[in-house]
Structure formats: C-alpha cells, structure tokens
Homo-oligomer: A and B are copies of this chain.
Amino acid sequence: MPDTITVSPDLATWMKSIQEKIEIALNNFLPETKQIPERLHDAMRYATMDGGKRVRPLLVYAAGQLFDANKDELARAACALEMIHAYSLVHDDMPCMDDDALRRGKPTVHKKYDEASALLVGDALQSHAFFILSQGKNPPERQLTMLQILAHAAGSQGMCGGQAIDLASVGLNLNRAELEQMHQLKTGALLQAAVLLGALCGKTLSEEDNTALHRYSRAIGLAFQVVDDILDATADSATLGKTAGKDAAANKPTYVTILGLESSRLLAEQLRQEAHNALLPLTASVHRSERLNQLADFIVQRKA
C-alpha cells in the first residue's frame, strides 16, 4: 500500500505504523487457534490477519487524533471494525454471492477451508466484533453509543442492506442517485462508523462535531467507491490482489459505466476537496485534522 507514489513519506510511515499496531491488536483480540474449536479459530485468523490496507482502522486512528483519543480504545474499535469488514468479505466471496476464489492474493476462506466454515467464520467474526467492543473502557454511555453505531452500520440499514441492494441491482439500470444510495450503505456506512468510533474514543461528540464528521465520511465513502470502480475498470488483478473487471463482467452498474472514466475521476477529486472542507469547522479549534485530510487524499489517489 504505502508504496504508491502519491503517498507522502510521512503518511506512509504513519500508515505502516498503524497497520503494524492493528496486526498486533488483532492477534491479541482474536481467540487463539489452540482454543476449541481450533479449525474455526484458525480460519477466523486466516480471514482477518495479514490483509488489506486497513482503511477502517486508519480512519479510526486519524479521527482519534482529532480529540486526542486513548490509544488502547482506538485499537479495540479499529479491530472491531476490521472484524466486521473481514466477515463481510468472507460472506461476499461465497458461491451464493460473488463466488470469488481470490482475495488479497490468497484463496478465499471457502476455497481454503469449506463453505460451511466460511459461513461460520463470518458469523463468529461478527459476534466477536461486538464482544470486544462491549469490553471497551470508554465511559459506559459512550461505549454503548459506539456499539449502537457499529451495529447500525453493519445491519440491514447499513452494510447488509447495501449488499442486498447490490445483489438486486445486477442487470438493472441504476441511476446515479440509486447507485450512490447503494454504496452509501454497502461501503460508506462502515467507513463512517470508523470515523465516528475513532472520534468517540476521544470525547462525547457535539452537534458540530457530528455534522462535520458525517459530511467528511459521506465524501470519503463515495470517493472510496468511485475510485474502486475506476480501479476495477483500469487496473489488473495482480495489482488489485483480487479479480479485476468483475463488476463489468457481472453486468453490475458502476460509476464508470454511468458517468464514464473521466467524469468519475473528476467526481473523486471533488469529493476529496469536499472531505477537506467538511473538517474546516473543526480545525479552527483543534488543528488536528491532518491525518483525516491525508487519508482523503490517499483514498482518492491510491492505485490499488
């Protein structure tokens, strides 16, 4: 990840340090493989460790910087989010969904283990995310708010709902508003939860905080998807670490098919600027939005 030319050395170093922290934290928070049932715990680790850019954890830490959040609580929230994200990938890859054999350059869980295990790995990772978050040491009221935000973002009016709309949209001509709604639920909800959870590890949020963070999250959530669609249409599988061009092959609507490649790139750039602007009301008082701004840049400029 941090090897793309557009990432500043400072950001690259910071990202690497968070990615390393997350690997250690996941290792601590996941049940040990030697615990019964061993194969399930082994597969849960296979699905979660060593993987991906850790965009959600990065957002948690970047948002935590805004309000000088407790580092242990950031690690916990980041791991809970990453477990939800990992479970969704395991289930998405299953034959009854996207039927994908490759994920992050490795065999998907149902290929490496079996379908029933993949189903249970996803289910157990979801439970475990809520388990570890319920043990957080933020003030209890705030911890409950964090659980509520995560559960809502994961559920039928968040990620699962977006998946359902995505499935139903294959072969349909979605307009831009419908496509945006689908992605806002499917990917945006969890990215937004990452930003809010990170901030909540620092303090109870004011209305002004909430407005700014929602606006930022919406912008980077959409930008993330627009760029995903651009990369799916332009990069190769080896660079992506997953099957490229599969949305087009599956006849799924994308920003590239609806807007075209150049307009999609313009939109991503607009959203990047909108993300920066959203944080201005906060930076006047705290001057700590540097990482969130850099992540908005990274999300738009990444090459994989």
CA A240 – CA B164 in complex, angstroms? Answer: 32
Whether the Cβ atoms of B157 and A91 lie closer than 8 Å is: no
Nearest chain B CB to A242 CB, angstrom units: 19
A284 is an interface residue with CB less than 8 A from chain B: no
The listed residue with most B CB atoms (<10 A of its CB), out of A94, A127, A161, is A127
Question: What 1/0 flags go to A42-82 for Cβ under 8 Å of B?
Answer: 00100000000000000000000000000000000000000
CA A128 – CA B134 in complex, angstroms? Answer: 15
Whether the Cβ atoms of B128 and A151 lie closer than 8 Å is: yes
* Residues in B whose Cβ lies below 8 Å from that of A1: none
Q: Contacts A44-B156, A143-B144, A144-B143 given: A120-B39 contact, CB under 8 Å?
A: no
Whether the Cβ atoms of B40 and A161 lie closer than 8 Å is: yes
Whether the Cβ atoms of A119 and B148 lie closer than 8 Å is: no
Whether the Cβ atoms of B35 and A157 lie closer than 8 Å is: yes
Nearest chain B CB to A259 CB, angstrom units: 23
From the candidates B91, B123, B126, B156, name the one contacting A41 in the complex (CB within 8 A): B156
* Residues in B whose Cβ lies below 8 Å from that of A155: 124, 127-128, 131
Q: Given known contacts A127-B151, A127-B156, what 10 new A-B pairs fall within 8 Å (CB)?
A: A31-B157, A36-B165, A116-B167, A120-B164, A124-B156, A126-B126, A128-B155, A131-B151, A134-B144, A140-B144
Q: B-contacting residues of A (Cβ < 8 Å)?
A: 31, 35-37, 39-41, 44, 87-88, 91, 94, 96-97, 114-120, 122-124, 126-128, 130-131, 134-135, 140-141, 143-144, 147-148, 150-152, 154-158, 160-161, 163-165, 167-168, 181
